[in-house]
Structure formats: C-alpha cells, structure tokens
Amino acid sequence: MCGITGHIDLKGGLATESLASMTKAIMHRGPDDHGLWVSPNGICVLGHARLSIVDLSPAGHQPMLDPITGNAIVFNGEIYNFQSLRQGCEALGDVFNSHTDTEVILMLYRRHGVNCLKFLRGMFALSIWDEQRQQIFLARDRVGKKPLNYALTKTGLVFCSELHPLSKHSSVDNGMDMEALELYLQCQFIPAPWTIYRGIRKLPPAHYAVYDRDGLRLEQYWELDYRDKIGISEADALDALEEKLTEAVRLRMNADVPLGALLSGGVDSSVVVALMAKLSKEPVRTFSIGFEEEVFNELPWAQQAASICGTQHHPEIVQGNVEHLLPILARHYGEPFADHSAIPSFIVSAAARRNVTVALNGDGGDELLGGYSRYSLSNRVIQLTKLIGGLIPPASLVDLSTKLIDAKTISQRIIRKLIMQYANPELRSINMYLSFWNDRERGELLSDYTSLVLQDWRQDCLKNACTYADNAIDRMLWLDSQTYLPGCLLVKMDIASMHCGLETRSPLLDQEVIEFCAKLPIRYKVKGGVGKYLLKKMAERYYPKEFVYRPKMGFGIPLEAWLRGPLRGMVEEVLRDPDAVFPLNNALLEQTLTDFYKGKGGLTFKLWCVFIFGVWNRVKDR
C-alpha cells in the first residue's frame, strides 16, 4: 500500500520540485521509502511513497523500471494472485529482480499493454510511463478500493493518490466546482468523476486512462452484470460462498509484516475473522472500538466474536472530544466528506497500526448481498415488484419520487408508498440521500443556484441499474456498488487507514466473490425480509443464531449528542464564519442551528454536512 504521484508535460516544462513536494505530502501513505524518476527526455516525472508489505528489500523500490522496454511504474495496492501470474511469466522466459507484485505488473504490461488489467485480482491504482509510445497509462481497480485523482493542465497532466496535495500544484485549477458542491450536499460525499475542485477529476473504478499528445482517453474495462443467473441449490450455494470467501481471505493473509483484523462485531467482519482463525496457526489480532452510549456500542458483540474465534483482542472506547481530529480529517480527505463514521474509522485504524501493518475488514458485505434496511422486502413484495415494477421505468419516476419526499397530502403519501414500497423499491438507493439536503432545501442553501447535475446523475444511475439488473433487489445492489460503496465507504476506509500507514484488505470485495454473488438468485440475497441471507446462513456455521440475527447497528457515533455537547462550540464558530461556509446561505444556516438546539428533529445530518464543509473550507488552503 503506497501513494503515487506523477506529472507529464509535453513541452518539457516539468516542475520536479513540485512533484517532490507532492510526494512528500503523501508520505503518511508510504513511510518506509520514497523515490522520484524522470524520463530520459524530461517529459514525465513519477513519484512514489512506499509502505513495504511484500518483499521488504530495496528491490521493491519504486518508481520501478523495466530494463528491456524502459517503461516505469508507480503502484499503490496489492495483487493477490501475483505469485501465480509470476509463474506464468517465468514459464515464458521472463526474469525477475524482486519478489514484488509491482514487477509482475510491469512484465504483464510488456506483453499485453493495457489488457494486463484483466489478469489482476486485487486492489490497485497504478501508472505506467510507456517509453516507446511516449504515453502515460493510469488504471484503478474494479470496485474502487484505491484512489487516483488527476488534473489536465495546459501542457499535460498531473496525478496523485490524494486530493489536498494535488490541489496545491501550481498547474492545477483549484477553484470550487459548484456541481460537486451540489452533489455533496445531497449525498454527503462527491461521486466520481467529480471532485470539489474544477480542475481535478477522479478516475472512476474499473476504468483506465491513456494520455499522450492526442489528449486523454478513458475506457471502462469491467462491468458487473446481475442478469446472468445460475441454477444452484441453497446448500451448494452456501458451500460455494464459503469456499470462495475462504480463498479470498487466504490470499489476503499473505504479508511479510504483522497482520490482524478490524472487528466491528457485525456479521461481515465476524465472518472474516472466523475464516482467518480457521486458516491461521497463530491467534488472530483483532481491533474494535465502541462508545459509552449503549445504543451505539458494539463492543460486547465484538468481544463475543473474539472469544469464539480465540483472537488477541484489543478494544477501545471513543469519547466525544474529537474536535482536534476534524481539521486533520478534512485535510486528508481533501474535500468535504460527511460520513460521520470516518471518525471511528480513523481511531480504530490508528489503534490497529500500533500493533500491525495490515488489517483485514468486512467492507462490502451489505453491497454484496443486500444488508441495508432498504433491502428488507418480504417475499410477497419481491414478487409484486416483478409484476408491476416494469410497467413504468424507474428512471422516469426518480424526479417524482424526490419531490414526494416532502409529501404533505394523503394522496401524495399514498403515491409515494406505492412507488417506493411496491412498484420500484430500487428508488430507495437514490432517495436515501434525501435525509441530507433535499432538492428544495438545497436550492435555498445555495441561494437558488441550480443545475441539472443531480437530475442527470440520478437518471443515469437508474438507467444503468435497469440495464444490468432485472429486479429491484439486484438494481439496488448495482446502485449501491456503483455509488455508495466506491464514493463513500471505500474512500472512508482508504483515507482512515492510510493516514497512519495501515493497509486494509477486504475479502468480501474479491472479484470472484462479487461475480459469484451477482449471479445468485435473489432468494439467496433477501429472503423473508432478511438481507444478506446466504452470508448469515454461513455465519451460523461459526456463531450462535442470536449473534447472527440481531438488529443491524452500523458503524455510527452518537452524533446528535456530540453536536449538542462537546462539539457545540466548534459547530457554532464554524457555521457563523461567513468565509468558512461561503457560498452557503448564512441566514438559513443560522436558522438551522437555532432549530436544532431548540430540539427540532431531522436536522442532525444536515447540520453535520454543512459543518464538515465549513471545516474543510478552513483548512483547504493550508
């Protein structure tokens, strides 16, 4: 796990010092080594900050060169099948100088060019300078575990693993993107390809880009399709899922440094820990955090899982005195990011890093097999959606459904229930964001600034969901795997872990596991109102039923209590600072503050969203 940077200037006007500074700014991602490389003709400079995980020797130094072609690579991530790929390369006569997965990618690129991506099973963001073609190749893994941000300049392209250092590069337009701000106020995160900066874009997951004198070309190299179903019994599906997950866990336990697991106490991470314990000769090291407020505290469940699996368990309690952490969070995320579970994610990552360098987690289970409450449909409703859900395409209903969020009349509420509950439940995966600033409120907050970006984004998402899935459950899974998972959850975990040089690995997001689950009939995903049905049946093999089927808690914090208590002073200071909240409507923010402290409901997440924007706005120029 590392950080990567690069600058291509086709006129040869490279600012090597600027790239060195940008690389230094991401050294927290790779504290073990760093390097710069300049192409022979001075057009390209690459930078790398290394977190040594496999082959800790100097042979793993990056940027790494292919001595035959002159190509150079910088790579962030892990390729879990690199050993078998290496054997294939050696059988063809390739000679290796290291034991790294990075060198395997270089060899595959030499033979296959951009098609090397189809062989890679893992998480990655990478860039290869092609010396013969005089072009740069950028790529990101299938689900978006590792970030890659880029900016087109007047004479070239600059890229970086993180946004904040990239926004400081002298060639980059770092003015605020109002479309991105509008998306943030709706979603709590900014989905790819947007960033908060006009001149910077995120390379979307499962995409690669090639930049040369003809410009920038983006291509998608993988798409998840839920339409191709397999006929399989429940017993066989259960055995197959366990076999595939066990293999995914085994591959992710390969490391030359201490390894453990983040154990929330939920089903997903508990299953991962159970499989690790089965595969490991030593007790697994596990790390959990909790809260004094019982309703948010999963530590007892994490302790139960740890006891059953015989782990070396390290629990911690989080207090509400996190004021000092928020500017650090804002700077690392590099743009407004309002998922409040970023706070405990930061803390548990730091706790784990004191003991291990690599930690497995349970990310992706909800998006794999339908674990959120919006998936909790009865068998009868699922059948009903098949009958009436196709009468009107969901994409044509999305604008109506967003307007009905403020339904006042009985008839409006009936229509809303018919659409959201019985006809097109997949709209829930779009409308869940309306608990933040909905369309009407956002217009007031942005002083009547309007655009079509959200309307187009929602329409496009639903059209694609309907293209690649034939039922409401799978459409929600497609939507969540393309929006919430890469835009929020994986961003949160990457930044939270990499701020302290911890590598996190997600077996549930293994490519083969994802593709297998996509092909499963929906009755193995949601059955009788129970989401993640098959995964929970598998969990029964390791844990008691009362552990497996307890109500889902999520990785939340006592946000409302913190906003009214230890964070109140900071919240009022930030939201009453016109410079910090520009260009938001000051009068509306003041009214929201007043209403919140008077006890009006439904404002907690709205307040947190604009508060975090203000915190980011204060630190963005530092």
Catalytic residues: 2
Distance CA 596, CA 563 (A): 9
Closest C-alpha to 334, from 559, 47, 589, 22: 22
HSE, side-chain direction, 13 A CA sphere, residue 434: 19
SS3 104: helix
Which residue, chain included where needed, has tokens 């034939």?
A: 470
Q: Are 60 and 50 in contact (CB under 8 A)?
A: yes
Three-class SS state of 209: strand
Is the N-terminal amide bond of 583 cis, ω within 30° of 0?
A: yes
Q: What angle do CA 48, 50, 55 make, to 5 degrees?
A: 125
Two tokens, residue 61: 């130094």
Locate 582 and state its tokens.
């520009």
* DSSP string covering 516-534: HHHHS-GGGTEETTEESHH
Extract the tokens encoding 178.
């109002």
Nearest C-alpha neighbor of 491 from the set 121, 288, 201, 190: 190
CA–CA gap between residue 345 and residue 362 (Å, rounded): 13
Evaluate whether 40 touches 55 at the Cβ level (below 8 Å).
no
Q: Residue 598 burial by CB count (10 A; 0-12/13-18/19+): exposed, middle or buried?
A: exposed
Return all residues near 381 (Cβ < 8 A) that are at least 6 apart. 421, 422, 425
List strand residue ranges (DSSP E) for 233-381, in order: 259-262, 285-291, 312-318, 358-360
Which residues are registered as beta bridge partners of 160?
5, 149
N residues, the chain:
622
Distance of CA 557 to the CA centre of its chain: 19
Measured N-to-C along each axis, helices 568-575 and 604-619 cross at an angle, to the nearest 10 degrees, of 70
